[in-house]
Amino acid sequence: MEYPKLLFAAISLSLLVCFSYGQRDVEPNQDVYTIEGRIFPPDTGIPPSWYSQTRILANGGEYIAILRKDNSFVFNHVPTGSYVIEVVNPTYSYEPVRVEINSKGKLRARKLNYIQTSTVDPVAYPLALTPLARIRYFQIREQWRATDFLYSPMVLMMVLPLVIIMILPKVMNDPETRKEMEHLNSLTRYDMPEMSEVLASFFTGGEKQKSKAVRKKKAQ
């Protein structure tokens, strides 16, 4: 469907929309706390860009912690509230954790559950995060296999005629099988009436019946 040409309205607009994190939650005399933890690097060793590519985000970047050389991290200036701590690394995945700071400054870490948000499944604090797995971004290409090659239509097209050409004449040359074949042929010949004959008899028969019926009607 194409858009109507007669009625239309401007789609573009000159609006300034700003999303700001900063204005929210910031009260000057609020107590602030720190969230601490450490990350265990993958067992295979520390990759070269490990320190610059590993970022620790609280609430998707509202607070950012940077990894130290000893793989520990600290979030500073965090007011009371609930924070989702996630480790972002392009190669390894880590499980996110929810950390809650109550009004008295007590910290509690628990497993992140977005569906049942009230379930408490405690996690050790200070956080100790271990890599879950290497992230798989790519589909694995199908491997070349001999069976795939053999069953491909191209190869079948080459092989089947070959079989028919090379093997069938040899089979036919064998006198016993020839006899058998002839026997089979004769069987089929006797059992199976000619298709055209069947059809012809069927139609002619039908016509006869029809004409009979007509005659009957006429007689009445």
Partner 1 sequence: MMARHLNLFIFMPQVFIILFSIFTVSQCLYEDQVGKFDWHQSFIGKLKFAFGDASGKRAIVATELNVVAALSLKTGNILWRHILEKDPQTNILFLSPTSSGEALVVTGGPKPLVRAFDPINGALAWEWTLPSTFPFDRILWAVSTEKLYALSLNEGEDFVVQQFNIRTGSQTSKWKTIVPWVHKSKCVPSRDLLICHSGKTLHTIRFSQKDAKPYPVELGQPIAQIESVKSGEKAGVFVDLSNLESGPSSQVVLFSDQGQTSVKCKPLSSPARWVFFDSVGESNIILQMVQRDEKLSIVTSDCISGNKIEESTGGVKYPADLGPPHVESVVCGSNHDMASCRLLINSPDQAITLVQYSGKVLWSREEALAQISAVEMMDLPVSDKDAAIEKEFDSKEAGVLGMFGRRLVSQALQAQHLLQTVFGLHDPIQPAGQRADLVRDDFGLHKMIVVATKAGKLFGLDNLNGEIIWQKALVNVDTRSMQLFIQRTTRHGPFPAQCLLLLKDKISKESILYTFNPITGEGSRRSLGYRVLQAMPLPVVDEESLRPILFLDSSEKVHIEPQSAISLVDPLASNTYMYVADPVTGVMTGYTLAQSTSERLVASRVWEVVFQPETQTIQSVVGKSPQERVHSQGRVLGDRSVLYKYVNPNLVAVVTQGTDTVHKYVLNVYLLDVVSGAIVFSISHKRAREPIHLVHTENWVVYTYFSEKWRRTEIAAIELYEGKTQSNSGTFSSLIAPVQPMVERQSYILPAMVQSMSPTITEKGITSRHILVGLANGAVLEVPWIFLDPRRPVTVTPEMREEGIIPYMPELPIPTESVINYNKTLPQISGIHTAPSGLESTSLVLVYGLDLFYTRVAPSKTFDLLKEDFDPFLISMVLIGLGLASYTTKRLASRKALKQAWK
Tell me the closest approach of the beta carbon of residue 194 to partner 1, in angstroms.
29
Tell me the closest approach of the beta carbon of residue 75 to partner 1, in angstroms.
9
Nearer to partner 1, 160 or 198 (CB): 160
What gap in Å lies between CA 84 and CA 117, rounded to an integer?
A: 12
What gap in Å lies between CA 60 and CA 9, rounded to an integer?
A: 37
Nearer to partner 1, 146 or 219 (CB): 146
For residue 51, count CB atoms less than 10 angstroms from its CB and return exposed for 0-12, middle for 13-18, buried for 19 or more.
middle
Binding window for partner 1 (CB under 8 A); candidates: 35-43, 74-82, 120-128, 172-180: 74-82
Q: Say if residues 85 and 98 touch (Cβ distance below 8 Å).
A: yes
Residue 26 touches partner 1, criterion: CB under 8 A: yes
Residue of 28, 45, 122, 175 interacting with partner 1 (CB under 8 A): 28
Binding window for partner 1 (CB under 8 A); candidates: 153-161, 174-182, 185-193, 198-206: 153-161
Residue of 35, 37, 39, 57 interacting with partner 1 (CB under 8 A): 57
Give the 3-state secondary structure of residue 164: helix
Binding window for partner 1 (CB under 8 A); candidates: 35-43, 56-64, 172-180, 182-190: 56-64
Q: Which uninterrupted H or E stretch holds 167? A: helix 153-173
Size of the site for partner 1 (CB under 8 A): 70
Q: What is the CA radius of gyration of the chain?
A: 41
Residue 37 touches partner 1, criterion: CB under 8 A: no
Q: Say if residues 75 and 34 touch (Cβ distance below 8 Å).
A: yes
Give the 3-state secondary structure of residue 58: strand
Residue 17 touches partner 1, criterion: CB under 8 A: yes
Residue 122 touches partner 1, criterion: CB under 8 A: no
Q: Say if residues 119 and 113 touch (Cβ distance below 8 Å).
A: yes
Residue 45 touches partner 1, criterion: CB under 8 A: no
Sheet holding 122-123, edge to edge: 63-66, 55-58, 81-88, 97-101, 107-111, 122-123
Residue 80 touches partner 1, criterion: CB under 8 A: no
Q: Which uninterrupted H or E stretch holds 109? A: strand 107-111
Sites of contact with partner 1 (CB under 8 A):
1-22, 24, 26, 28, 32, 48-53, 55, 57, 59-64, 66-69, 73-74, 76-77, 82, 84, 86, 88, 90-91, 93, 112, 114-115, 117, 135-141, 154, 157-158, 165
